[in-house]
Structure 1
Amino acid sequence: MAANAQPQQPSSRHRYEVQSTTPWWLPVLLGFLTAVGPISTDIYLPAFPSMVQTLHTSLSSVQMTLSIWFVGLAIGQLTVGPLSDRFGRRMPLIAGNVIFAVCSAVCAAAPDIVTFSIARFVASIGASASLVIPTACVRDLVPDQRAGARMMSRLVMVMGVVPILAPMLGGIVVTFVSWRVIFWASAAYGLLCVLLVLRMLPETLDHEHRLRLPPITLMTRYIVLLRHRAFLSHAMIAAFSTFLSFSYLTAASPVFINGFHFTPFQFSMLFGLFAVFMIGASQVNGALVSRFDPHKILSVAICISLVGSLLLTAIAFWLNVHPGSGHGLSLMVVPVIMAMLLTLSPTGVIYPNATMGALADQARVAGTASALAGTMQYVFGAIAGVLVGLLSGMPFFGEQTPLPMAIGMAMGAVAMLLCLPMRPAVR
């Protein structure tokens, strides 16, 4: 049937021409667009305690908005990926950022936690376009896995700069103004992304390579992808890496602000420190993939993260047994931070290598494959948020101790290690 016909893979000549004409600023633009997701996740973390008071709700309810955000990102990516394979990359990206901007403004004016949560959910569906499509653009432009990993590392660097600044700005806003300003700024960011796409982003998927498939065929493609060993193994590693990171994101604010008595600005500075190390690791990865096998680099990074997470769990358990040792800005916060750095930094290596490993053989359905991989990441992120929230509510753990966060991060690292043998042998 014509509907099921596969578009031919671009010839080597076509690929070479696309790569050779790629402007230097395009990775910067794609990274800026992809940062919509991270900045919207990170910027309001210092505001959790303030939102509890303003919206007259509980901390667990505010934390749940983070899981709602992740669920919306997961659902949105399943839709926007196939749409980008059908209609091209630009139009779905524009529509998604418009939705994100409008709903962020609704969040800023929300009178209660229910309104805020609904608007946050719809905003996440719009933001999902900026998570899927830039990655698909990389796959359109750079079909080689090593070159793709290098370009993804540059995207991680660019998209990481904004999240470094985001919590710092969020901490300043919460200290001097209202947390609502954060979401007005998010709305402005979304509108700026719309303008940049309209004026600067070229269409990377030409008409002859777009898919015209019925919904049942799209569902079949998702099933085929899940049965593809290279895709599934690498997508699972990326998903469990997200599980690890979101365990940290969900719990870090109450742990450091309420438990260790950091100010919102001090917490935002610490958050920036973690981000700097993750970005630095991604740039080291960009240099390493030119010399070493990306599969081996990925394995080493996972092992380092596992060691850090187990160390963090041991320290957090000791603090729970000796609660008086961790109050205030005591010396006990130092080993916690060091163990977190050892756990989180390798994710800057794990993400680009796992992502490009998942997309390496999916040239014809890069948007769909990117969407499915991204959906898996945010589903696992939402599960991590719920798990950490449940552990925080238990008597022995507590929402102000690092133990629930440490357990979630360790579970993600162990699961990544278990996924390594699933990968096919290197060709």
Structure 2
Amino acid sequence: MTDSTLISKGKVWLVLILGSLSAFGPLSMDMYLPSLPTVATDLHTTTSTAQLSLTACLLGLAFGQLFFGPLSDKIGRRKPLLITLILYSTASLLCGLANSIELLIVMRFIQGFTGAAGIVISKAAARDLYSGKDLTKFIALLALVNGVAPIVAPLFGGIILSFAQWHFVFYTLAIIGLVMLVAVIWKLPETLPVAERVQGNILAPYKSFPKILKDKSFMNFAISQALIMTCLFAYIAGSPFVLQKMYGLTAVEFSATFAINGVGIIIATQITARLASTIAEQSLLRFGTLLATIGSTLLLIVAVNRLSIWLLMLSLLLIVAAVGIVTTTAFSLAMQNQGKQAGSASALLGLLAFVGGSIVSPLVGIAGEDTAIPMALVIFVCALVAYILNLFLKNNTLPVNK
């Protein structure tokens, strides 16, 4: 089945809505990024404490997926989406009204927790509809939509900051949540039939976690994706201070550089989807981790020697391109055997990635805002471990029904 066939079968709205829902993570994180230094100043706090607002959102995104993924295996995909979109908009509004860093951190956790439903359910819905290489191609289509978020979100955030305070970033996110609520009500059907849902009491879907965790194939691909996503989150948390404080970029200029890297993710994702028809997905995954290692090595050299911003941007572009390759292939490979437990499996994939991000977010600013070495070191270690893991990954770890 080709990409054009997927779209031609009345799935345009499905791709747009699921792609937008899967972008709630980038939207919640990236639109806020240009305002991080301003938030630290306005709320009279340190760089590391301000970055805890990112950590809180990441933890919410992680544990929200762990909760809503299995729940959607039990009660369907649509109902949890409707409820959480209302709660997401409310939490975003309260973030905008926060007058202390403590309140902002708490509300950011709730915002992430409710926004996580869109991420995990959109991917579970994709697994409801597709499998194998068709799933890889459909995930690439979703990535084409949600890949717009890392481009538009920081640009929009920078533009908002040029004429308004950071609070309005969250008011905008509240409006986006309400727009998506209308879209789900209007155009998104239920993708999980009653007959295919997990049976038993409300705790039944959570019983699948031990089985999934014992799946060696799943865990290999899940850990690979989590490590590379942790690289991305380290970049997200550290780059506002590195580029704006160290290299002197304005909020809008920072947003533009962030957008360029967003384009890199989209291009890498779409090329990966095309190559998946002729090249083994595991080979593509291995190349992605190698590319991340090369980019992170260059980044570490740039950080230690304080080299030019152009070399810095090149290294970051290589790293985010690797993210596009790894997330597309690792997700498809990990989900091949998951079937009825797609929601739970998708939740675990998200949990590992966002927990990693929540751990490294405050670490990248631990040495202050005048050095990029902590950010570069975190990214280098995660990329290298991912590459080593895949370098020795044997073919017999591939899903049996691939």
Tell me whether the two structures share a fold, i.e. TM-score over 0.5. yes
**Would the aligned equivalents of 1:229 and 1:423 in 2 still touch at CA under 8 Å?**
no
**Superposition pairs of residues 172-321 of structure 1, within 5 angstroms:** 172-214=159-201, 217-319=204-306
> 1:42 aligned to 2:30?
yes
Moved more, 156-165 or 256-265: 156-165
User: C-alpha distance in 2, partners of 1:51/1:91?
Assistant: 35
Alignment counterpart, residue 126 of structure 1, candidates 114, 136, 140: 114
User: C-alpha distance in 2, partners of 1:339/1:370?
Assistant: 30
Percent identity over the alignment is: 31
Helix, strand or coil: the match of 1:111? Answer: coil
Helix, strand or coil: the match of 1:233? Answer: helix
Q: Residue 82 and residue 383 in structure 1: after superposition, are their counterparts in 2 closer, same or farther (change >3 A)?
A: same
Count of paired positions? 392
1:178-203: CA deviation from partner (whole Å, max 9, x where unpaired): 11110000000011111111000010
1:269-320: CA deviation from partner (whole Å, max 9, x where unpaired): 000001001111001111111111111111111111111111111121122x
User: C-alpha distance in 2, partners of 1:216/1:134?
Assistant: 21
Q: Residue 423 and residue 211 in structure 1: after superposition, are their counterparts in 2 closer, same or farther (change >3 A)?
A: farther
**Would the aligned equivalents of 2:74 and 2:202 in 1 still touch at CA under 8 Å?**
no
Q: Which amino acid in structure 1 is aligned with residue 385 of structure 2?
A: A
Helix, strand or coil: the match of 1:275? Answer: helix
Q: Which amino acid in structure 2 is aligned with residue 142 of structure 1?
A: Y
> 1:29 aligned to 2:29?
no
Q: Which amino acid in structure 1 is aligned with residue 374 of structure 2?
A: P
User: C-alpha distance in 2, partners of 1:133/1:299?
Assistant: 27
**Superposition pairs of residues 411-422 of structure 1, within 5 angstroms:** 411-420=381-390, 421-422=392-393
Q: Which amino acid in structure 2 is aligned with residue 212 of structure 1?
A: Q
Equivalent in the alignment of 1:93 = 81
User: C-alpha distance in 2, partners of 1:253/1:203?
Assistant: 39
Alignment counterpart, residue 317 of structure 2, candidates 341, 348, 366: 341
**Would the aligned equivalents of 2:70 and 2:206 in 1 still touch at CA under 8 Å?**
no
Q: Greater CA radius of gyration, 1 or 2?
A: 1
> 1:403 aligned to 2:390?
no
Deviation at 1:400, TM superposition (A): 2.4
**Would the aligned equivalents of 1:71 and 1:378 in 2 still touch at CA under 8 Å?**
yes
**Would the aligned equivalents of 2:13 and 2:187 in 1 still touch at CA under 8 Å?**
no
Q: Considering only aligned residues, what root-mean-square deviation do their CA atoms show, in Å?
A: 1.7
Unaligned runs of 5+ in 1: 1-17, 320-325, 327-331
1:55-89: CA deviation from partner (whole Å, max 9, x where unpaired): 22222211111011111111111110111001100
**Superposition pairs of residues 78-157 of structure 1, within 5 angstroms:** 78-143=66-131, 145-157=132-144
Q: Residue 22 and residue 422 in structure 1: after superposition, are their counterparts in 2 closer, same or farther (change >3 A)?
A: farther
User: C-alpha distance in 1, partners of 2:160/2:144?
Assistant: 25
Equivalent in the alignment of 2:43 = 55
User: C-alpha distance in 2, partners of 1:41/1:73?
Assistant: 10
Alignment counterpart, residue 59 of structure 2, candidates 71, 75, 82: 71
Equivalent in the alignment of 1:350 = 326
1:226-277: CA deviation from partner (whole Å, max 9, x where unpaired): 1101110111111111110011011000001000000000000000001001
Helix, strand or coil: the match of 1:400? Answer: coil
Deviation at 1:162, TM superposition (A): 2.3
TM-score normalized with structure 2 length: 0.94
Deviation at 1:216, TM superposition (A): 6.0
Equivalent in the alignment of 2:335 = 359
**Would the aligned equivalents of 1:229 and 1:422 in 2 still touch at CA under 8 Å?**
no
Equivalent in the alignment of 1:378 = 354
**Would the aligned equivalents of 2:16 and 2:142 in 1 still touch at CA under 8 Å?**
yes
User: C-alpha distance in 2, partners of 1:382/1:219?
Assistant: 23
User: C-alpha distance in 1, partners of 2:176/2:287?
Assistant: 36
User: C-alpha distance in 1, partners of 2:174/2:325?
Assistant: 31
User: C-alpha distance in 1, partners of 2:109/2:354?
Assistant: 13
Equivalent in the alignment of 1:161 = 148
**Superposition pairs of residues 323-342 of structure 1, within 5 angstroms:** 332-342=308-318
Unaligned runs of 5+ in 2: 1-5
Equivalent in the alignment of 1:322 = none
Equivalent in the alignment of 2:3 = none
User: C-alpha distance in 2, partners of 1:232/1:22?
Assistant: 34
TM-score normalized with structure 1 length: 0.88
1:163-182: CA deviation from partner (whole Å, max 9, x where unpaired): 21110111111122111110
Helix, strand or coil: the match of 1:346? Answer: helix
Deviation at 1:19, TM superposition (A): 10
Q: Which amino acid in structure 2 is aligned with residue 415 of structure 1?
A: V
User: C-alpha distance in 2, partners of 1:149/1:400?
Assistant: 41
1:398-421: CA deviation from partner (whole Å, max 9, x where unpaired): 422221111111112112113213
**Would the aligned equivalents of 1:229 and 1:424 in 2 still touch at CA under 8 Å?**
no
**Would the aligned equivalents of 2:285 and 2:325 in 1 still touch at CA under 8 Å?**
yes
User: C-alpha distance in 1, partners of 2:170/2:347?
Assistant: 26
